Structure 1
Amino acid sequence: MSEDIRNRIIEIIAEQAVIEPSDVSMEQSLEDLGIDSLGLVEAIFAIEESFDISVPFNANAPEESEFDISSVGAIVEAVTGLVAAQKA
């Protein structure tokens, strides 16, 4: 399942950055990919919809959020945790 989560998140982020999924690496930040705050919010909404989860995210102060958006890998890890908690 985590491979599916990773691939779907990369697709969502690539769509927001208007690049190919193959151009997204786990180490990159959303800023590295050219995603601004509006793109970030749209990506969060798409992630919530795709995985039927609620992301604890504060768009006005992302650094204060419990949801780590520091890199693509961190987002994948956070979403994987939310999905697992939902199924528990």
Structure 2
Amino acid sequence: MSNSVRDTVTRIIAEQAMVEPAAVTSDQTLEDLGIDSLGLVESIFAIEESLNIQVPFNANSPEDSGFDVSSVATIVKAVEGLVAEQKA
């Protein structure tokens, strides 16, 4: 499951950044990839739709949402947790 979640999140982030998925690394931030706040929101929506989950994200106060968007790795980890919760 983890690889498919990681692949899905990476693909969505890459599409938003207009780069190949292979160019997206775990330690990159969305800012490193040129993704702004609107791109982040669009990415969150795409992740929710692709994985059929609800991401606890508040676009007006991202720091208060409890969903860590500080790097690609933290986004993947958070989404993996949400997918696991859904299946439990």
TM-score, scaled relative to structure 2: 0.97
**RMSD value, Cα:** 0.6
Ranges in structure 2 where 5+ consecutive residues have no aligned partner: none
Q: What is the DSSP-based 3-state SS (H/G/I as helix, E as strand, rest coil) of the residue aligned with 2:10?
A: helix
Instruction: Report deviation, 1:48.
Output: 0.2
CA displacement 1:5-46 (0-9 Å, x = unmatched)? 001110000000001111100000101100001100000000
Ranges in structure 1 where 5+ consecutive residues have no aligned partner: none
Instruction: Report deviation, 1:66.
Output: 1.0
After TM superposition, the structure 1 = structure 2 runs for residues 7-46 of structure 1, keeping only pairs within 5 Å, are: 7-46=7-46
Partner of 1:3: 3
Overall identity of the aligned pairs, in %: 67
Count of aligned residue pairs for this structure pair: 88
1-structure distance, mates of 2:39, 2:53: 19
TM-score, scaled relative to structure 1: 0.97
Partner of 1:86: 86
Instruction: Report deviation, 1:51.
Output: 0.6
